[in-house]
Amino acid sequence: MSPTIPFDPRVLRAPHPVPGAPDNWRRFFSFNTDAKVIGIQYIAVSLFFLLVGGLLAMIMRGELLTPPADLVDPTVYNGLYTMHGTVMLFLFLFPVLNGFNNLLIPPMIGAPDMAFPRLNAAAFWLFPVFGVILMLSFLVPGGPSGSGWWAYPPVSTQNPLGHFINGQFLWILAVALSGVSSIMGAVNFCTTIIRMRAPGMGWFRMPIFCWTALAAQAIQLCGLPVLTAGAVMLLFDLSFGTSFFRPEGGGDPMLYQHFFWFYSHPAVYVMVLPIFGVFSEVFPVYARKPLFGYHVVAIASFAITFLSLIVWVHHMFYSGTPQWMRNVFMVTTMLIAVPTGIKVFAWLGTLWRGKLRLTTPMLFCLGGLFNFIFAGITGIMLATVPVDIHVGNTYFVVGHFHTVIFSTITYGVFAAIYHWFPKFTGRMTYEGLGQLHFVLTFLGSQLNFLPMHWAGLMGMPRRVASYDPEFAGANVLASLGAFLLGVATLPFLINIVSSWARGAKAPANPWQAIGLEWLLPSPPPAENFGEHVPVVIAGPYGYGLGRDLVEDQESVVQRSLQEA
Amino acid sequence: MTGEAPSRPFRPDPAAIVLVAIAVALNVLASVWMSQRVHDWLPVQASSAAPYVDNLFALEAGIGTFIFLGCACVMGWTILFNRAPKYDMDDGAPIEGNLRLEIVWTLVPLVIVMAIAVHAIQVNQVLATLDGKVRVSSGSEALAVAGSAAGEEPVGPIQVIGRQWSWEFIYPEGVHSTELHLPVDRRARLELISMDVLHGFYVPAFRLKQDLVPGSVIAYALTPTREGRYRLRDSMFSGGYFAANQTDVVVESDDAYRAWLKDALRRPLVPAANPATELWRLRRERGDRGWATVPPAPPPLVHVDADPNAPHDA
Ligand code: HEM
Ligand SMILES: [Cu+2]
Ligand SMILES: [Cu+2]
């Protein structure tokens, strides 16, 4: 394999306004252009919003503990579930994954920073802005948006109080700004991966995390403009009396659903692809084996990107979609199972005959894979039109996507935090607390999300504040699971905070992992390899193959030891 | 799987073959058992569509169980038997891939999901003749479309009207009710109409769901097959008191249905007792706390109101 693009020396060297890393904590509160600072900023703020979203979920599960709507008013419940979904997607998952993109992409490909550092910092600083806008919507008269994270019109454009500034207005503003920020990020990530790889790092020597990041960010570039257009039209219908989606004025509410899902289906792959990347990085390290079928896994990422753009109508099977269209989108949706299956089997192949070390990141990846297989199977059920006609818009769907979004993606986020924490903070985490976090999370998520499938099969609609007594059993179990998940975050928070403050100093490569980022000191210096960018001579994951990753590896390792 | 040298010819180990055969046999048994269990997790079957949906779901539950358990066994095996002992820093078998295996696990899932899809398309076709649905732009067009379906004299068309938050059913005989009555084993034609926002016509026991879309009249048909009282739930989020927007479908014998219609016409039209209206009234009484919502539409005027306390079968 020949190196494609020679290393581009014109990498930008934007000055860092608050120098003095790594001891100067003030840099985290400034417009800093260092991708490693931005990465940690993203992750810290998004973890804060994970707690906010989790708190909203606890109140919802408290309400659902008993059949009648007795804890909060039904309108309050509607606002809570809307904000829970919106916070979790737009203020937790997207930003936390952008945080990992920032931390991991430059060191993994040997680049000193992102291609456009100022754009990068601007994209980050939009995040607190739209975060605050969304939170402010709790304070406006009438409360936050209560039309669900889909914001389907006409409910979303009813504006009961008639104020110009209302919860729905702020919601649309926040989501649109989040889209702008994501597009800025996507331009940066794609450019960096395409243009700034170390000499010798051809496409098929690139770590899978970078493949999946590129595949995911390509989706952002294709899909987000469509969502943004839909959001702007919705804003105009809401605030300026247009009728894009109003039947009275000749519009069609179904049109919005197409705009929304054209992006929002692929969006779920924007979230899961990087986690496929995390699995592909973590399994080889702790199974001590090369990734099984590296080339196919890499290509499958782009097969997923392509297919994810042509399946969106599976969210609209019961909304008046003609039969031929249902059949077409059923077939395309089912096809996604093929590249996804390739990845799952490749991870199993990686585990097979390995030398497994069940560390915290490995446990989260194993648990996440286990849950993902389950969710893939319920996904196929949902893709089957006659079955979806029954379980669509019920708790079965809620169970399906929480098994993916929490029990796979968020597990992957935890795995990534534990795996790369030593690298980017220079401190080790406490293994015992990590394992406790895993055990509680695994039990809590099964208890929370499995009974939801059952409630859905029995016919419990989603988004309800009250329900018939026959669903009480499933809901009590789910609520207990949710409270257990709340408890599970305590060892996590304690671990992260106290490890960073006073954990043991981390060596450059605590896990004996193979990869450019592990050839840097922990934490890496501001510009990673600086002048001494190593020349990559082999593909990633060479466990047990007895080969070097870079030219003159010994001296690269020595240099990282000296700098530390 | 042999590993050290991928070029070495595959020489199976008899013990391994026996072990794998036993595991596969157990897995098949578990999967068959699982596909029979699904009926315990579903409501009673009360429409001609229900058996099709359930059988398709049972098939998928069986195949899904087989795949899930197969993968879980591999994971469990590696966790039990491929663990590195403490302080063992060695690497595992350096297997980088296996082209034949990779082709197999691309093609097998492809064949499975395409087979399911083809089967589901056939079911769709059957259900389409059972329960055709066409989007139209006006009520009279809906009647023309629904009337052209073949078969014995169908019931209806009954107008199903969704509001924030009530259901109203208007029969061609002139009866208005908030409870949907249908004769068993006869094809019933419905016209789904929304007066405000999206709603979902969802009867779990029928396994059927169709959204009511403002701006279109959707002609819909279904055949109830079991007498009883079943919940009809709004399945598409419709704002404030969405969760309260539920009523019952009563499936009864042809004679009972006719008698019910006749009796209903003798009664006066009265405003229905609407759960959302009641919740709204309580909220106003308690100081109107809560977040913004449009007020409920006035309750429909009906001959027969739903009985909220009647026990339902599903
Ligand atoms: C084999 C793979 C998968 C298939 C075939 C599949 C299929 C489906 C289908 C058909 C629905 C629509 C159900 C309905 O609303 O009636 C759905 C919902 C959903 N899926 Fe999946 N899915 C798969 C994997 C995933 C993955 C990987 C993710 C996330 C990264 C995901 C996230 C979601 C979400 C968030 C929803 C619900 C959105 C909402 O209604 O609010 N799914 N899935
Ligand atoms: Cu959630
Ligand atoms: Cu989707």
Contacts of B11 (CB under 8 A, 6+ apart): B2
The Cα–Cα gap between A81 and A402 comes to 14
Q: Which atom of ligand 1 is nearest to the CA of A372?
A: 27
Question: With a cut of 50, which residues of chain B have pLDDT below it?
Answer: 1-7, 130-133, 137-151
Instruction: Flag whether B75 is in a domain.
Output: yes
Position B90 in a domain: no
Q: Chain B residue with minimal CA distance to A167?
A: B292
Q: Please identify which residue in the block is written with the tokens 């009265």.
A: B270
Does A319 contact B71 at a Cβ distance shorter than 8 Å? no
Looking at CA atoms only, how far is residue A188 from chain B in angstroms?
Answer: 32
**pLDDT tens for residues B189-240?**
999 999 999 999 999 999 999 999 998 888 888 999 999 999 999 999 999 9
Q: What residue type is assigned to position A251 of the chain?
A: G
Furthest CA-CA distance within chain A: 73
Do B120 and B155 sit in the same domain of this protein? no
CB contact under 8 A, A338 and B106: yes
Query: Domain ends where: B111, B127, B143?
Result: B127
Which chain A residues touch B91 with a CB distance below 8 Å? 288-289, 355, 543-544
B52 to chain A: closest CA residue: A386
Q: Tell me if B209 and A335 make a contact (CB, 8 A cut-off).
A: no
Residue A333 CA to ligand 1 center (angstroms) comes to 10
A417 CB under 6 A from ligand 1?
no
**Residues B190 and B221 sit within 8 Å (Cβ to Cβ):** yes
Q: Measured from the CB, is residue A304 less than 6 Å from ligand 1?
A: no
pLDDT computed for residue A166 by the predictor: 94
- Tell me the C-alpha distance between B111 and B115, whole Å: 6
Q: In this structure, are B276 and B293 located in the same domain?
A: yes
Residues lining ion ligand 3 (Cβ < 5 A) are A 265
**Cα dihedral sign for B30, B35, B36, B41?**
positive
Is A390 within 8 Å of B72 when comparing Cβ atoms? no
Please identify, by atom number, the ligand 1 atom nearest to the C-alpha of residue A376.
1
* A435-482: pLDDT as tens digits: 999 999 999 999 999 999 999 999 999 999 999 999 999 999 999 999
Q: Do B78 and A356 touch (CB under 8 A)?
A: yes
A253 contact residues in B (CB cutoff 8 A):
198, 213-215
In this prediction, residue B85 carries a pLDDT of 86
Evaluate: CB of A383 within 6 angstroms of ligand 1.
yes
Mutate to test the pocket of ligand 1, among A371, A382, A391 (most ligand atoms within 8 A of CB): A382
Contacts of B208 in chain A (CB under 8 A): 389-390
> Is B308 a domain residue?
no
Judge if B149 and B106 occupy the same domain: no
Q: Which atom of ligand 1 is nearest to the CA of A149?
A: 41
| Whether residues B54 and B181 fall in one domain | no
Residue A216: both structure tokens together: 């995911």
Question: And the tokens for B175?
Answer: 């009866």
Range of the domain at B118: 2-79+101-127
Q: Which residues pair with B189 in a beta bridge?
A: B221
Q: Residue B38: its pLDDT value, please?
A: 93
Q: Does the C-beta of A88 come closer than 6 Å to ligand 1?
A: no
Cα(B191)–Cα(B162) distance, rounded to whole angstroms? 11
CA dist A391 and A413 (Å) reads: 29
> What residue owns the CA closest to ligand 1's atom 14?
A392
Distance from A562 to chain B by nearest Cα, in Å?
Answer: 25
Q: Is A344 in the pocket of ligand 1 (CB under 6 A)?
A: no
Same domain, B116 and B134: no
Q: Is the separation of the CB atoms in A83 and A144 below 8 Å?
A: yes
Q: Are residues B111 and B166 in the same domain?
A: no
Angle at A35 between CA A33 and CA A38, to 5 degrees: 75
A382 C-beta closer than 6 A to ligand 1? yes
Q: Which of A75, A290, A366 sits opposite B240 (nearest CB)?
A: A75
Cα-Cα-Cα-Cα torsion A192, A195, A198, A203, nearest 10 degrees, comes to 100
Q: What total number of domains does chain B contain?
A: 2
Residues B146 and B259 in one domain: yes
Domains of chain A: 9-16+31-563 (1.20.210.10)
Q: Chain B: give the shortest CA distance to residue A329, in Å.
A: 10
* Domain presence at residue B241: yes
Which residue from A265, A266, A434 is spatially nearest to A362, judged by alpha carbons? A434
Q: Tell whether B191 is covered by a domain.
A: yes
Question: With helix as H, strand as E and coil as C, how does A187-232 read?
Answer: HHHHHHHHHCCCCCCCHHHCCHHHHHHHHHHHHHHHHHHHHHHHHH
Residue with tokens 């920032």: A102
CA–centroid distance, residue A223 to ligand 3 (Å):
13
The secondary structure element, H or E, covering residue B160 is strand B155-163
Domain CATH for B204: 2.60.40.420
Chain centroid to Cα A120, Å, comes to 18
Nearest to B43 among A141, A146, A458 (CB): A458
Chain A residues whose beta carbon lies within 8 Å of the beta carbon of residue B205: 459
Same domain, B47 and B161: no
CA R_g for chain B: 28
In three-state secondary structure terms, A244 is coil
Closest-lying ligand 1 atom to the alpha carbon of residue A382: 10
Chain B residues closer than 8 Å to A296 by CB: 97, 102, 106
Out of A268, A278, A305, A326, mutate this one to test ligand 1's pocket (max ligand atoms within 8 Å of CB): namely A268
Q: Is A380 in the pocket of ligand 1 (CB under 6 A)?
A: yes
Bond before A523 cis per omega within 30 degrees: yes
**pLDDT for residue B128:** 67
Contact A337 B200 (CB under 8 A): no
Ligand 2 center–CA B114 separation, angstroms: 31
Residue where a domain stops, chosen among B62, B93, B127: B127
Question: For residues B299 and B247, is the Cβ–Cβ distance under 8 A?
Answer: no
Check B209 against A465: CB less than 8 A apart.
no
Helix (H, G, I), strand (E, B) or coil at A13: coil
B180 within domain boundaries: yes
Query: Is B115 inside any structural domain?
Result: yes
Helix extents (H) in A291-410: 294-308, 323-351, 360-383, 385-391, 395-404
ipTM (interface predicted TM): 0.91
Q: Do B123 and B190 fall into the same domain?
A: no
- Please work out whether the CB of residue A39 comes within 6 Å of at least one atom of ligand 1: no
Both B136 and B275 in one domain: the answer is yes
What does A111-160 look like in DSSP terms, one character per residue? -SS-SSHHHHHHHHHHHHHHHHHHHHTTTSTT-B--STTTT-TTGGG--T
Residues B46 and B152 in one domain: no
Across the strands, what pairs with A95? none
Pair of tokens at residue A15 = 């000055």
> Burial code of A101-112, b = ≥16 C-beta within 10 A, e = fewer?
bbbbbbbbbbbb
List chain A residues with pLDDT less than 70.
1-24, 564
Distance CA B107, CA B111 (A): 6
Q: Answer yes or no: do B64 and B146 share one domain.
A: no
